[in-house]
Amino acid sequence: MTAHYWFSFGIALVIAFAATPLVKILAFRVGAVDVPGVRSERGIHTKPIARLGGIAIFVGFTASVFFVAGPSLQNLGLLAGALILIIVGAIDDIHPLKPAPKLAAQVAAAICLVATGGRIDWVTNPFGGMFSLGWAGIPLTILWVVALANFVNFLDGVDGVAAGACTISAMTLLFVSLQDGQAFAGVLTAALAGSTLGFLPFNFNPAKIFMGDSGSMFLGYGLASVSVIGTLKSAAAVGLFIPMLALGLPILDSLFAIIRRFFSAKPIMTADRDHLHHRLLDRGFSQRQVALVAYAISGFFGVSAIAVRDMDKRHGLLTIVLALAAVLGIALRVGLLSVKVGRHPMNRSM
């Protein structure tokens, strides 16, 4: 990694780290607080904890991108979409919103990205060649952005899990972008990784502040956006699967939840307490141990994504299949595809 990307990473980290205590003060003043027994995001804490941490991540990211990459149409489109999610997410962190306004904000953010050139134009066919998506790339990009914004939100249920996992995913996308010579995507991913890592010390158990919906939606949007701008344009034989591997934890945890709810005849968007972090907590893991397990899984996916980048399609696809098989084994082991008989209080954002 050149000094240029270290600079982007460092600026974002320092600013996010410095901004988080200030955001914590702001959160208590405006009432963006997770209060046990009143409005609890997780139901596993015993004292009020500030929300709105996503604002600190956004500030660090934005400052770094403008300082290192400078203003451009694509920058403005990306940041305009992010700002929409931060504003709507912050409102939700203060006064809970229904799903519809948040979904509308996610679609609007995706449209900002697409309108300024951030879209999936073509993908590499793992069986040979490449193909253009044409106009179909627009709805596909919007779907990808909206899905990731929600998947990261689902993952944010235990101190430090989402922030740490997203940091690892961003670092993975950074290395792949550099391998592909995607300089702009490299700056964005370095800024995203730095800002999230700067927030993590305040969010790791025992958390002093939560990222809230403002943070989880922004991080999902940010990861989806940088993958569209960078790795989804990769010419690698398995380029289509690289961002899916890099973002494997939130994607598969959400996919397992969808499958579980479908076969339980429950609405797909119904909240439950059966995600990976909940299952591990139920097995006696501490919040810190759950976070470390999540980091290990994210790291495994990240190494796999980087490794398959330079493989031929045969070995790359084999590696992907083996990685997914290993994670499926873990999922079956902890019961991610089964439904517990005893139900727990629902988590609003899970």
| Stretch 303-322: mean pLDDT | 77
Q: State the pLDDT at residue 338.
A: 66
Q: How confident is the model at residue 343 (pLDDT cuts 50, 70, 90)?
A: very low
Q: State the pLDDT at residue 122.
A: 74
Residue holding tokens 């940091």?
A: 167
| Stretch 74-103: mean pLDDT | 94
Cα atoms in the Cβ-side hemisphere of radius 13 Å centred on 185? 27
Instruction: Give the range with max mean pLDDT: 80-89, 128-137, 293-302.
Output: 80-89
Residue 349 has pLDDT above 50, yes or no: no
Instruction: Give the range with max mean pLDDT: 83-92, 289-298, 320-329.
Output: 83-92
Mean pLDDT score of the chain: 84
* DSSP track, 271-296: --S-SHHHHHHHTT--HHHHHHHHHH
What is the residue extent of each domain of the chain? 3-334
Spatial separation of the C-alpha atoms in residues 348 and 350, rounded to whole Å: 6
Spatial separation of the C-alpha atoms in residues 48 and 208, rounded to whole Å: 9
Q: State the pLDDT at residue 160.
A: 93
Q: State the pLDDT at residue 94.
A: 94
**Among 144-153, 186-195, 203-212, 252-261, which is the least confidently predicted range?**
252-261
Q: Which residue has the higher pLDDT, 35 or 124?
A: 35
Residue 345 has pLDDT above 50, yes or no: no
Residue 153 has pLDDT above 50, yes or no: yes
Q: How confident is the model at residue 234 (pLDDT cuts 50, 70, 90)?
A: low
CA angle at residue 58 from 72 to 149, to 5 degrees?
95
Residue 232 has pLDDT above 80, yes or no: no
Residue 326 has pLDDT above 90, yes or no: no
pTM, rounded to two decimals: 0.86
Percent of the chain with pLDDT over 90: 46
Q: How confident is the model at residue 184 (pLDDT cuts 50, 70, 90)?
A: confident
Write out pLDDT tens, residues 100-152: 999 999 999 999 999 998 888 777 665 666 677 788 889 999 999 999 999 99
DSSP state of 88: H
Residue holding tokens 């600013």?
A: 15
List the alpha helices (DSSP H) in 136-286: 137-155, 161-179, 183-203, 212-229, 242-246, 248-263, 276-282
Asked whether the beta carbons of 256 and 331 are under 8 A apart, the reply is: yes
Residue 93 has pLDDT above 70, yes or no: yes
Q: Which residue has the higher pLDDT, 190 or 38?
A: 190
3-class DSSP assignment, residue 179: helix
Q: State the pLDDT at residue 2.
A: 66
Spatial separation of the C-alpha atoms in residues 281 and 335, rounded to whole Å: 13
